[in-house]
A = this chain, B = another copy of it.
């Protein structure tokens, strides 16, 4: 699956949330997500632009591989493989055993809304601030996806600096 999205640094999530709710969009989910990132023993994922992430959200544990970003401009597209796993602790132990090292952690409070043919996500990221993401539905072509993202960005006032770096990369940059 190719994920096409924009990420915008915003000063305040409230006006965006108000507009989304005023239009009657539905809250898909909200909650705290705790993400641990692992680096490979054979190639540095921060150089190959890959990511291996283990996410804890509510009762759910999710393992995700992300391929290198292939986006152009302010859009970001990358291959993503997601799988639910039974236990964070056991998956973490297996990853350590096969040589993967936990390198960073990102914690955020996330709200997701279904808006048009996309998902809008409002994130409060520990140590980084507030962000809005618009991710087009997977079944759209790239052109349809970009058009839908622009339409939503304008309609809901999701404007500001567009970032193609991940939260992990932003945190690592900040720590330098």
Q: Say yes or no: A85 contacts B87, CB within 8 Å.
A: no
Query: At the interface, yes or no: A150 with Cβ under 8 Å from chain B?
Result: no
Bound-state CA distance A44–B44 (Å) is 20
Q: Could you say which residues of chain B place their CB within 8 Å of the CB of A50?
A: 97
B-contacting residues, A45-97, CB 8 Å? 50, 52, 63, 65, 67, 81-87, 90-91, 93-94, 97
Q: Could you say which residues of chain B place their CB within 8 Å of the CB of A43?
A: 99
Which of B65, B82, B87, B93 interacts with A98 by CB under 8 Å?
B65
Q: Say yes or no: B99 contacts A40, CB within 8 Å.
A: yes
Q: Which residue of B lies closest to A45 (CB)?
A: B98
Number of copies: 2
- Chain A interface, >50% SS class: mixed
Q: Which residue of B lies closest to A90 (CB)?
A: B83
Query: At the interface, yes or no: A41 with Cβ under 8 Å from chain B?
Result: yes
Bound-state CA distance A86–B87 (Å) is 11
Q: Could you say which residues of chain B place their CB within 8 Å of the CB of A67?
A: 97
